[in-house]
Structure 1
Amino acid sequence: MTKHWWKEAVVYQIYPRSFNDSNGDGIGDIQGIIQKLPYLEKLGIDAVWLSPIYKSPNIDYGYDVADYYEINPEYGNMTDFEELVAKAKKHQIKIIMDLVLNHTSSEHKWFKEAKKGTDNPYHDYYIWRKPEQIKAQLEHEWTRNQWTFVPELGQYYFHLFDYRQPDLNWNNPQMRQELYKMMNFWVEKGVGGFRLDVIDLIGKDPDHGVTVNGPKLHPYLKEMYEAVFAGKDLLTVGETWSAGIKEAKQYIYENSHELTMVFEFQPLLLSQKRGMDKWHPVRINPQLLKKVLLNWQTKLDYEQGWNTLFWSNHDLARTASLLKTNDRHRIAAQKMLVGLQFFLKGTPFIYQGDELGMINVNFSKIEMLRDPESIDLVKKSDDKKTALRLVSQKGRDNARTPMQWNNSSQAGFTTGKSWIDINPNFLQINAQIEEADPNSIFNFYRKLIAIKKQSSILKYGDFEEINDVPAEVLAFMRSDETGSYRVFANLSRKAKRINYHISRKKVVVQNYPIKETGATYLLKPYELLVEKTYN
Structure 2
Amino acid sequence: MLERDEWWRDAVIYQVYPRSFADSDGDGMGDLPGITGRLPHLRELGVDAVWLSPFYPSPQHDAGYDVADYRGVDPRFGDLGDADKLIAEAHNLGLKIIVDLVPNHTSSEHAWFQAALAAAPGSPERERYIFRDGDEPPNSWQSVFGGSAWERTPDGQWYLHLFDVSQPDLNWDNPEVREEFLAILRFWLDRGVDGFRVDVAHGMIKEKNLTDWTSASTILGGLDPAGPPPPMWDQEGVHEIYQSWRQVLDQYPGGRILVAEAWVAPASRLARYVRPDEMHQAFNFPYLEAPWTPAALRAVIDESLEANDAVGAPTTWVLSNHDVVRHASRLGFPAGTPRMPGIGAEDPQPDAALGLRRARAATLLMLALPGSAYLYQGEELGLPEHTTMPDEFREDPAWERSGHAERGRDGCRVPLPWEADAPSYGFGPAEKSWLPQPATWAEFALDRQQGVAGSTWELYRSALGLRRAHGLGRGTVTWQDGAFAFRNGDVLVVTNFGAEAVELPAGARVLLSSEPLDDDGRVPTDVTVWAAL
Q: TM-score range by the shorter chain?
A: 0.7 to 0.9
Q: Does 1:369 align with 2:394?
A: yes
Q: Does 1:530 align with 2:530?
A: yes
Q: Are residues 139 and 427 of structure 1, via their aligned partners in 2, closer, same or farther at CA, if it must alter by over 3 Å?
A: closer
Within-5 A mapping of 1:189-204: 189-204=191-206
* Higher deviation after alignment, 353-362 or 432-441: 432-441
Quote the offset at 1:420 in angstroms: 1.1
Aligned partner of 2:380: which letter? Answer: E
Q: Could you tell me whether the CA contact under 8 Å between 2:364 and 2:514 is conserved in 1?
A: no
More strand by share: 1
Q: Does 1:401 align with 2:426?
A: no
Q: State the partner residue of 1:238.
A: 260
TM-score of the pair, normalised by structure 2: 0.87
Q: Secondary structure at the match of 1:48?
A: strand
Q: Name the CA distance, whole Å, in 1 between partners of 2:495 and 2:139.
A: 51
More helix by share: 1
Q: Name the CA distance, whole Å, in 2 between partners of 1:136 and 1:172.
A: 21
Structure 2: runs of 5 or more not aligned: 214-230, 334-350
The number of residue pairs the alignment matches comes to: 491
Structure 1: runs of 5 or more not aligned: 272-283, 382-386
Q: State the partner residue of 1:51.
A: 53
Quote the offset at 1:176 in angstroms: 0.9
Q: Does 1:290 align with 2:312?
A: no
Deviations 1:365-393 (A, max 9, x none): 4212111113333x354xxxxx5xxx3xx
Q: Could you tell me whether the CA contact under 8 Å between 2:14 and 2:377 is conserved in 1?
A: yes
Deviations 1:134-178 (A, max 9, x none): 4552899999610000022x2000001110011111111111110
Q: Name the CA distance, whole Å, in 1 between partners of 2:480 and 2:89.
A: 44
Q: Are residues 514 and 141 of structure 1, via their aligned partners in 2, closer, same or farther at CA, if it must alter by over 3 Å?
A: closer
* Higher deviation after alignment, 164-173 or 221-230: 221-230
Match of 1:320 among 320, 328, 341: 328
Q: Name the CA distance, whole Å, in 2 between partners of 1:160 and 1:530.
A: 44
Q: Does 1:427 align with 2:442?
A: yes
Q: Are residues 428 and 181 of structure 1, via their aligned partners in 2, closer, same or farther at CA, if it must alter by over 3 Å?
A: same
Match of 2:482 among 453, 459, 468: 468
Quote the offset at 1:235 in angstroms: 2.3
TM-score of the pair, normalised by structure 1: 0.86
Deviations 1:239-275 (A, max 9, x none): 0122432112211132xx110000021123346xxxx
Q: Name the CA distance, whole Å, in 1 between partners of 2:502 and 2:275.
A: 37
Quote the offset at 1:226 in angstroms: 2.3
Q: Name the CA distance, whole Å, in 2 between partners of 1:410 and 1:513.
A: 33
Q: State the partner residue of 2:285.
A: 265
Q: Could you tell me whether the CA contact under 8 Å between 1:18 and 1:400 is conserved in 2?
A: yes
Q: Are residues 151 and 184 of structure 1, via their aligned partners in 2, closer, same or farther at CA, if it must alter by over 3 Å?
A: same
Q: Name the CA distance, whole Å, in 2 between partners of 1:151 and 1:175.
A: 24
Within-5 A mapping of 1:32-111: 32-111=34-113
Counting aligned pairs with the same residue, the percent is 32
Aligned partner of 2:531: which letter? Answer: E
Within-5 A mapping of 1:314-463: 314-324=322-332, 326-363=351-388, 365-377=390-402, 379-381=403-405, 391=407, 395-407=408-420, 408-416=422-430, 417-456=432-471, 458-463=472-477
Aligned partner of 1:454: which letter? Answer: A
The alignment yields a C-alpha RMSD, in angstroms, of 2.4
Q: Could you tell me whether the CA contact under 8 Å between 1:199 and 1:240 is conserved in 2?
A: yes
Aligned partner of 2:280: which letter? Answer: T
Q: Secondary structure at the match of 1:226?
A: helix
Q: Secondary structure at the match of 1:236?
A: strand
Quote the offset at 1:364 in angstroms: 5.2
Q: Could you tell me whether the CA contact under 8 Å between 1:410 and 1:422 is conserved in 2?
A: yes
Aligned partner of 1:301: which letter? Answer: D
* Higher deviation after alignment, 302-311 or 333-342: 302-311
Deviations 1:3-32 (A, max 9, x none): 411123221110001110000111101110
